[in-house]
């Protein structure tokens, strides 16, 4: 696979619902009540239940690995968590939209991908980037 600076990855949109949060909590063993208990989330100053940051990060990573076709070609990946994804208690959940672009192609055959993750029109991950081979 060859890369071109400016090449855009196919966008990915994911609906994060409360049942997805429960399944993720079971898989990750992260049962923090801010991810499932509306009353608790509001008591600590959140607007409602929020998605696990690592779930949002994993979904953004899926944008890249889906494009690569082989997750083994992902060399490194990192993000900063900048804003929570608030998940309403309904069947629609929260729509999170991911886009990515090749920013740099290196002499060693790797490329840097910058990723944007948005919820409700606002960026939820900062400095999200991956290096791929």
Residue 84 burial by Cβ neighbours in a 10 Å radius (0-12, 13-18, 19+): buried
Half-sphere exposure in the Cβ direction for 92 (13 Å, CA): 5
- Tokens 């949060």 appear where? 21
CB distance 112 to 7 below 8 Å:
no
User: What pLDDT does residue 47 have?
Assistant: 97
Bridge partners (DSSP) listed for residue 113: 102, 130
Return the pLDDT at 1: 76
Tokens of 74: 């992902």
Q: Kindly report, residue by residue over 65-114, the tens digit of the pLDDT.
A: 999 999 999 999 999 999 999 999 999 999 999 999 999 999 999 999 99
**Among residues 69, 76, 55, which one has the least CA distance to residue 10?**
69
Q: What confidence tens digit (pLDDT) does each residue in 19-72 have?
A: 999 999 999 999 999 999 999 999 999 999 999 999 999 999 999 999 999 999
């Amino acid at each position: 696979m060859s890369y071109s600076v400016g090449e855009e990855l196919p966008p990915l949109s994911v609906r994060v619902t409360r049942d997805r949060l429960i399944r993720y909590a079971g898989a990750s063993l992260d049962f923090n009540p801010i991810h499932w208990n509306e009353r608790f989330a509001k008591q600590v100053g959140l607007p409602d239940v929020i998605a696990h940051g690592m779930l949002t990060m994993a979904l953004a990573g899926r944008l890249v690995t889906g494009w690569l076709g082989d997750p083994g070609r992902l060399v490194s990946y990192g993000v900063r968590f900048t804003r929570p994804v608030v998940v309403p208690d309904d069947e629609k959940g929260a729509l999170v939209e991911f886009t990515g672009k090749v920013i740099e192609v290196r002499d060693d055959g790797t490329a840097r991908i910058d990723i944007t993750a948005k919820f409700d029109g606002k960026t939820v991950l900062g400095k999200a980037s991956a290096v791929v081979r």
